């Protein structure tokens, strides 16, 4: 679905986020191709949400440095000039959100307006970003709710969010996020509150939407089975940094970073994951908190392959290890070559 030689839709370089203490996310660099589905994985606290919210311009009281450049997407035939999102005035960011970039938030209840019906909230998004009015707008609202598997869409439009179950709210959030057919969707754990059958439906829906519209997606998840079901590429975050970025088939067959290997070997078998035990199992030990990350490899305290030199001498850089003709593959491990299978 994606051409790595084409200009990326989103190009993130050296993104650093700070709330007044230590950097929470540092030196984050990655690309998202047009129409590409990228799974962003990593243990709790690794910076998946903070990094995504920073790119969306949705963090308050944060200092953000670096660059996140959004090129023209499927909606403009790729023709629109790139827009630098970091430092963009709030008014311009608001105009882009929904139409060009959109987000399904990790917590659906706090991101729905408790005082407005579902119908009112969907109509508001459609009015802001499309030219639909009257009966056409109503039909589109119904179609969106049907698309996300809501059985009685007409009834749902009249309800306030607190009348819905967790799973229904999650589906409404997805409908709102895709209403204006954005070029890029950040989906932060969008299927966590759903049962396994609905989870599979939603994954099919999001993948189908990408196939129909060319929408690219950053799919944030703890669940490696979900990542393997949906992603073209996997980006692993550890303690605020990218530690591996690889095509999904390469990542699942021969991950290069010891942390990725530890995650994959700790993951429950696929069948167990699909039966609902899907959360990412952590290797032994804990992710260092932002104030305790030091200047060596951040995974060193948990790594079975650690050596004083080179692992503790300095922080490994993110290097490209893509072999000739192979698609993009980067890793942050000073011993990747010695450890390669």
Quickly count: other Cβ atoms within 10 Å of residue 317's Cβ: 10
The DSSP result for 232-295, as a single string, is SEEEEEETTEEEEEEEHHHHHH---SHHHHHHHHHSPPHHHHHTT--SPPPPSS-PPPGGG--S
From 258, 278, 288, 290, residue interacting with ligand SF4 (rule: CB under 6 A): 258
- Asked if residue 297 binds ligand SF4 (CB under 6 A), the reply is yes
Stretch 87-106 residues interacting with ligand ATP (CB under 6 A):
106
- Which CA distances in Å does 164 have to 141, 146, 199, 250? 17, 15, 17, 40
Report the sign of the C-alpha dihedral through residues 49, 50, 52, 57, in that order.
Answer: positive
Residue 217 near residue 185, CB atoms below 8 Å? yes
The DSSP result for 59-72, as a single string, is -SS-EEEEEEEE--
153: helix, strand or coil: helix
User: Cα separation of 74 and 232, whole Å?
Assistant: 18
From 58, 180, 306, 315, residue interacting with ligand SF4 (rule: CB under 6 A): 306
Of 216 and 300, nearer to ligand SF4 (C-beta) is: 300
Using alpha carbons, select from 12, 44, 38, 8 the residue that is nearest to residue 26.
Answer: 12
- Asked if residue 318 binds ligand SF4 (CB under 6 A), the reply is no
Give the shortest CB-140-to-ligand SF4 separation in angstroms: 49
Taking CB under 6 A as the binding criterion, the range among 14-22, 49-57, 276-284, 292-300 that sits at the site for ligand SF4 is 292-300
Stretch 2-61 residues interacting with ligand ATP (CB under 6 A):
19, 24, 42, 44-50
From 30, 186, 251, 299, residue interacting with ligand SF4 (rule: CB under 6 A): 299
Stretch 38-97 residues interacting with Mg ion (CB under 5 A):
49
- Asked if residue 310 binds ligand ATP (CB under 6 A), the reply is no
199: helix, strand or coil: helix
Taking CB under 6 A as the binding criterion, the range among 26-34, 68-76, 145-153, 298-306 that sits at the site for ligand SF4 is 298-306
Residues that bind ligand SF4 (CB under 6 A): 258, 297, 299-300, 303, 305-306, 311, 316, 333-335
Residues that bind ligand ATP (CB under 6 A): 19, 24, 42, 44-50, 106, 222, 290
Residues that bind Mg ion (CB under 5 A): 49
């Amino acid at each position: 679905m994606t051409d790595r030689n084409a200009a990326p839709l989103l190009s993130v370089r050296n993104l650093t986020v700070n709330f007044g203490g230590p950097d929470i996310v540092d030196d984050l660099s990655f690309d998202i191709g047009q129409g590409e589905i990228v799974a962003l994985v990593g243990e709790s606290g690794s910076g998946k949400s903070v990094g995504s919210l920073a790119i969306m311009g949705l963090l308050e009281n944060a200092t953000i440095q670096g660059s996140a450049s959004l090129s023209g997407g499927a909606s403009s035939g790729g023709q629109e000039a790139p827009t630098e999102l970091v430092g963009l005035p709030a008014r311009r960011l608001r105009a882009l959100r929904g139409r060009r970039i959109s987000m399904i938030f990790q917590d659906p209840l706090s991101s729905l307006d408790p005082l407005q019906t579902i119908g009112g909230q969907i109509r508001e998004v459609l009015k802001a970003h499309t030219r639909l009015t009257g009966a056409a707008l109503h039909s589109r609202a119904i179609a969106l709710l049907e698309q996300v598997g809501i059985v009685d869409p007409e009834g749902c439009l009249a309800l306030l969010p607190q009348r819905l179950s967790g799973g229904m709210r999650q589906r409404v959030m997805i409908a709102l996020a895709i209403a204006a057919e954005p070029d890029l969707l950040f989906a932060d754990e969008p299927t966590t509150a759903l049962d396994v059958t609905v989870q599979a439906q939603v994954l099919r829906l999001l993948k189908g939407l990408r196939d129909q519209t060319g929408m690219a997606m950053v799919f944030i998840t703890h669940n490696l089975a979900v990542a393997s079901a949906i992603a073209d590429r996997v980006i692993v975050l550890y303690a605020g940094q990218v530690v591996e970025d690889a095509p999904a088939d390469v990542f699942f067959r021969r991950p290069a970073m010891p942390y990725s290997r530890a995650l994959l070997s700790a993951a429950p078998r696929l069948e167990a994951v699909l039966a609902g035990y899907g959360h990412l199992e952590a290797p032994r030990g804990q992710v260092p908190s932002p104030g305790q990350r030091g200047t060596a490899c951040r995974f060193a305290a948990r790594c079975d392959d650690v050596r004083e030199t080179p692992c503790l001498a300095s922080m490994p850089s993110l290097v490209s290890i893509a072999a000739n003709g192979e698609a993009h593959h980067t890793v942050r491990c000073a011993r990747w070559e010695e450890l390669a299978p």
